Structure 1
Amino acid sequence: MNIYFTSGQVSKLFNISKQTLIFYDKIGLIKPDHIDPNTLYRYYSIEQFFYLYLILALKTSGIELKNIHNYLNEHSIPTTIDLLSSQIRTLNHKIAELETAKNTLDQTLKQIEYGIRLKENNPYYFKYFEEQYLYTFPIDKTDITKDFSLTFSKLANKYIGDYSTMKWNYGCIVSLKPTGEFNNRELFIVLDKPDHTLPLIKRPSGEYLCTFHKGKYDTISETIQKLLDYAEQNCFTILGYVYEHQLINSFMTDDCNEFITEISIGVE
């Protein structure tokens, strides 16, 4: 003798809505074992509980309903192995994406905290940088935004594409003429690892002379010049580019007076 439960009883037992059961019936995933012709009440047999448990467990594991439907139509050990193996690969990919996202947010939080602490430092200091690979992009001549947001959006679209791994670690690189005058400025993002399909600039590891600029970028050239003057006064030879690393920018605050940019140059 079969034991039957109404859709209301089943929904309470499995903590799902009646609408979910109706939807599962509509797509052919699991249908009522019996529908009363007079009352139209929908009844499920206790033998169906196993399949409903299985459906909900697979769905909770992230498996799509259409794949569950196909699996139940060919329910066997080989198809179970195939289904679980496929989902494990999918979950591993998602875990890797989430780890990347978490690491990016961790680094950004540390970057903000470092930028806040910089305001308490001496105006000039030395800092060691590990080797970095920078993907550079010319600043758009029409970019009049307060922190080159227009150029960054183009760079991000070209490199990041779907924004699945948002790059907060960016800034500007400034080349100098032999006379010490500013020559060219380009936007850069710091890559986690070199991508030799892109136009890259390698920033050598070593000690860099640094300072920081607080506030709007329209006066950052004055801060850079002060750093260059300080290097000259202390008989340092300037090596390579000037790096402007935006630690706190419009991603973090609307108040451009709170922007913090670390400026660094290689010296010997």
Structure 2
Amino acid sequence: MAQPTWRGLLFWGTVTFLWGMLPAYAVLPTEGGIRLNQTRVIFSASDKAQTVTITNSDNRTYLVQSRVQFDTNNPAPAPFFITPPMFLLKPDSRQLLRIVHQGGALPTDRESVFYLSVLAIPSRATKDDAPVQISAGLQFLIKLFYRPPALSAASQTTLCPLHFSRQGLTVRVQNPTPYHQTLGRLAFDQAEVNLQTQPSMLAPMSALTFAVSGAPLHAEWQTISDYGGLSAPCKQQIATTQEVP
């Protein structure tokens, strides 16, 4: 059986180009047999490193390139480096990615968020030594939260910290905490909000606004925990604010 070929590192220029060309981001997909073992990374200032495992249960070899970047649409490297940054992941194998903070000035009173981006491109077995043709690649994009020394998981004592207020046909959701709060579920008077079509993460000391019909009285929600699961359900009466003329 013919072996996968990569044309050496001449492939590198094409891989770099594909970072900005993939139309979608995948988190823990099953297609292709490539998956990550978690949906987010929590990096405390006291951590020397954090690790993420990438597993290949496919029968193909993948070329994997990883890095931490500032935003989903900003591929500029963030102040973290990953080892190994580029490698071949063979069939039925796994690789540990080690993430290390490089230092640099970051906010000391709140979390910062970055994105771990992992690109996996499959090889193609050929009957001759013809160059490999790339058909598609998978890009994984998961959040990396950096917590400065003043913050820790133990200091998140308020289980339901969000504040809800209504003004006209909108509900404002305020996050008064120094932590990012990602909504995993939201409902107004038991009417579910589709969080797939609008922003769901509240940055520290920020707010989001949701359009509503009628005048909902109660909000129910759950946030995403450090481990990728849902928090305990929260419920709050929605305050009413007067419009300023």
TM-score by length of 2: 0.23
In our comparison, the structure showing a higher alpha carbon Rg is 1
Higher strand share: 2
Higher helix share: 1
TM-score by length of 1: 0.22
